[in-house]
Chains A and B, each alone.
Chain A
Amino acid sequence: MSAAATILWKDLLSEWRSRATATTTVVFALLILLVFNFSLDLEGEHLSAVGPGLLWIALLLPAMFGLGRGIAEEYDRGTLEGTMLTPIDSASLFVGTVAGNLVLALAVQVPLVVVFAILFPLPVVQPAFLPVLVLGSLGLALLTTLVATMTSVARVRELLLPVLVLPLALPILIASVAATDQILRPGQTPPIPWVGVLAAFDGIFGVAALWGFDRLLED
């Protein structure tokens, strides 16, 4: 088993035992969806126009807080230091952590998309949405892992995390919303350009994060 796979195994097993992040993230996202559902009386064209944005806000906010929590806890408990004391390279640590966050994000988001489709009658449960969900979630996992590592030493990290993640997540949010909008409108072509934007963001940000992660871990 590679170092990244070992870290992924540890993260998923820890989360499976505690279910702390998954539970709070699901509850947070459900509350957002319910608040939108009760406060906005959306039908027809209005729903089609606003729906993709609502969906991605409901997916983004809980993911941002939930995915950042793991690395902050590792820092507090000293386990991040324990892993850093092993002879693995920082890239393996980053890839394993991002993979764990991605799996966790998708495990939470897939049922949330179904709940969204029940509360807001839009055809989001379709194969064309899957690449958008996976690439959007990967971008969020990359971003939150990197920023959570940066802010883990800060006293006000709970405030710093959204302040730093939200502006950086805008390209993901814009591309994901636009791609989802294109999927939901009848007669539209597949959202290949927007999926391309998401893939490009993930690729560029992933490479930059791999390069910078090593420096973040130094004292």
Chain B
Amino acid sequence: MADSSYALEAHGLGKAFGGRFVLQDLDLRLPWGSSLVVFGANGAGKTTLQRVCATLVRPTRGEVRIAGWEPRGNTADIRRAIGVVAHQSYLYAELTASENLAYYGRLYRVAGLEQRIALLLATLGLLHRRHDPVRLLSRGQQQRLALARALLHGPRLLLLDEPDSGLDEPGFAILRRLLADHRAAGGSALVTSNVIERGLQLGDQAACIQSGHLTPMGATSSLDAAAVAEALEESTGRMAPRGGLRGVKPS
């Protein structure tokens, strides 16, 4: 493990697609044992930030250190240190829940894989569906399994892009508990969300991203959904989407 007191560090980070900058001059420091939730409207740059941190896209400018490593030449070490939940579940529809986890577990060379799979499936309430093909699982169950896949190898840094997507209340409670345990064990998480009420429960720090710029908002314990919505409105210059920002009461 590279020696660093930060799980994530970014300085002047920029990412352009076809000449258009999706991330611009972004600075970020996420200490170990901390969880940052980033709010933003659709297209604000949340997913691109996650993909840069996951080494899936290279930044156009600036520097990023992930779990203490620079991406160039260290992708294998970084990928061992991170667990990713993205918009796509990364699950094979024809394989069962257990087989999907076995596939990824073998690629990560997880020790005691059978027990680890059973433990995660039990934790996420999927043990009774372990022999079912993923295509037969509901959207929420697939999201739970995607969480199990991300946690399988015991990553220290979690990169979670709208991890509550499709989760019912019991599923969301499990996610919240897993994140709290992860932080308590010294791990960190970068969470992106466009559901304010839920997002505030997933991080201890909050920030909002708009047009690729990241603005810190402080500790989540000092924020409420209305304040976040207001800050987002100020930064976007328009009302937050009604369906997306569910924590906002209509004025």
Interface residues of A (CB under 8 A from B): 1, 3, 6-7, 9-10, 13-14, 17-18, 77-79, 81-89, 218-219
Contacts and interface: CB of A to CB of B under 8 A. Distances in A.
A218 B58 contact: yes
9 contacts: A1-B106, A78-B88, A82-B90, A84-B56, A85-B56, A88-B76, A88-B107, A89-B76, A219-B56
Contacts of A13: 94-95, 99
B88 A86 contact: no
Interface in B90-107: 90-95, 99, 103-104, 106-107
A81 B146 CA distance: 13
Interface in B69-105: 75-77, 79-80, 82, 84, 86-95, 99, 103-104
Interface residues of B, number: 29
Given A13-B99, A79-B91, A85 B106 contact: no
Top-6 shortest CB links A-B: A82-B90, A78-B88, A17-B94, A86-B107, A87-B76, A6-B106
B107 A83 contact: yes
A87 B108 contact: yes
A10 B80 contact: no
Interface string B53-67: 010111000000000
A78 B79 CA distance: 17
A6 B79 contact: no
Contacts of A82: 88, 90-91, 104, 149
Contacts of B104: 82, 86
Contacts of B166: none
B125 interface: no
B15 to A, nearest CB: 10
B90 A3 contact: no
A81 B90 contact: yes
Contacts of B88: 77-79, 81-82
Given A7-B107, A82-B91, A83-B107, 7 more contacts: A3-B106, A9-B103, A17-B95, A77-B88, A85-B56, A87-B79, A88-B76
A10 B84 contact: no
Contact of B92 (A1, A10, A219): A10
A56 to B, nearest CB: 31
Contacts of B154: none
B140 interface: no
Nearest to A14: B94
B171 interface: no
Contacts of B87: 78
A3 B103 CA distance: 9
A89 B88 CA distance: 22
B79 A79 contact: no
Contacts of B56: 81, 84-85, 219
Contacts of B86: 78, 81
Nearest to A96: B107
A92 B210 CA distance: 39
Given A10-B103, A85-B84, A87-B76, A77 B93 contact: yes
B94 A6 contact: no
A91 to B, nearest CB: 12
B68 interface: no
Contacts of B79: 85-87
Nearest to A76: B88
Contacts of A83: 107
B133 interface: yes
Contact of B54 (A18, A85, A218): A85
A9 B100 CA distance: 11
A13 B134 CA distance: 13
A2 to B, nearest CB: 9
